[in-house]
Amino acid sequence: MPGYHIKETIRQFLENAGYPWMTWVRGRRNPWTTRLRKAVADCVAAHQDAYGIALCGTGMGIAIAANKVPGIRAAVAHNVDTARLAREHNDANVLAMGGRVVNGAEAIEMVQTFLNTTFAGGRHARRVEKIMQIEAAERG
């Protein structure tokens, strides 16, 4: 799995920092990340965890899949700035990263930033609310 090496680094960081965490790993027979995104996204959507971290090769595929779950705002981040902006401006609740794009040290810094950044609200809250209204209308 392309994100496995950073998954282990992130897992160790979360464990050492005292964050509660769960992990789901793709089996060799599952050629894509569908089950992973469902497990992470469903857990976050049910408020069992405030935030989720989803990994694949680039972060893009798993973010697209996770965003199919109502209530999920998964954002792909490739550096600390995009991880911060995902939370600050978009109230993202899932951080998606790629094992082909970031290394372990970058991943830890991005996770720390994501977890420690608060949503700015204001004009950003209006945008997030509009996105949620679109989601609600699509669900019918």
- 44/95 Cα distance (integer angstroms): 11
CA 66 to chain centre: 8
- 43 tagged catalytic: no
Q: Which of 5, 43, 78, 89 does the annotation list as catalytic?
A: 89
From the candidates 43, 56, 78, 124, give the one annotated as an active-site residue: 56
DSSP string, 10-47: HHHHHHHHT---------TT--SSHHHHHHHHHHHHTT
Q: Report phi then psi at 81, rounded to 5.
A: -60, -45
Please give the backbone phi and psi of residue 97, each rounded to the nearest 5 degrees, phi first: -135, 160
Residues annotated as catalytic are: 56, 89
